[in-house]
Amino acid sequence: MDLHMKGKVAVVAGGSTGIGFATALCFLEEGCKVAVFARNAERLEAAKEQFAALGYKDVMTGSADATLEEAVNKFAADVAAHFGTIDYWVNVAGGSLRKSLNKVTNEEFDKVVAINLKSAFFGCNAAARYMKKNEKGGAIVNVSSMAAHRAAAGRALYGCTKAALLQLTKVFAAELSPFGIRVNSVSPGLVLTELSRPVVPEENSPEFAAFFTEYLIKRPGLAREVAAPIVSMCSDVFGYTTAADLRVDGGVDAVYETKWIEENIELLRE
């Protein structure tokens, strides 16, 4: 792609693995100056080595906890001091908890809210502080989830916080609109990463087919298939889009009954 983003400054919060790493790489391929931060220093160093191996040796990295306002603000200030400004900011950091709501402790509740909601709240505010100074504002993308639209028993707290993130996105879009700052979100379906790989059945197995029965695209997504839309939403291609949520979920929440499609495939071929 050539999205005319060369020289722009992009920050990815939670960019050491998975969707975050893929997003940072897409920004780099578009000629952006990229800064990445994550909590795990070892994974961050491994990501930096991967970027370098691909020819990108000037990626700015920092070990920072996205759930701590002071840490987020400091990294944003470091980025602005190093690159001069911030044009794009993507909040990818997130985490889940497989537990029924009646068993969730207060500590667990606060932890999930912090990583899925407060981190984006801190990120949006930190980004806006610098984007307001830009002549053309900037763009922020928050990574939500299909779980925000479709409740999953046993993971309900994750879905609740990701749904709240959609509303947070809309409010930031409204309040930052006078400054030319667009704020959008993406809601991925199941994406194949090192975290999700253990729960995905072996490809071409009956279990694999059953696992993706309700997906219109019968497989897990790839991190890059989410990253590319994220980067596109930051570009001028989406210049008239704000307060929107883009579902990159393989169509899992689009159709009520996918079994009918399978049973009537010959009819649909006509």
Cα separation of 34 and 192, whole Å?
24
CB 238 within 8 Å of CB 184: yes
Could you give the C-alpha distances from 233 to 48, 148, 163, 193, 240, in angstroms and in order? 25, 19, 20, 22, 10
Tokens (6 digits) for 220: 């897990």
Residues classed as catalytic? 158
Burial code (b: 16+ CB inside 10 Å, e: under 16) for 84-107 equals eebbbbbbbbbebbebeeeeeeee
Q: How many residues does the chain have?
A: 270
Q: Say which residues have a Cβ less than 8 Å from residue 81's Cβ, sequence separation at least 6.
A: none
d(CA 126, CA 66): 11
Q: Which residues contact 9 (CB under 8 A, 6 or more apart)?
A: 32, 33, 34, 35, 79, 83, 84, 85, 86, 87, 88
Tokens 């930096």, located at residue: 48
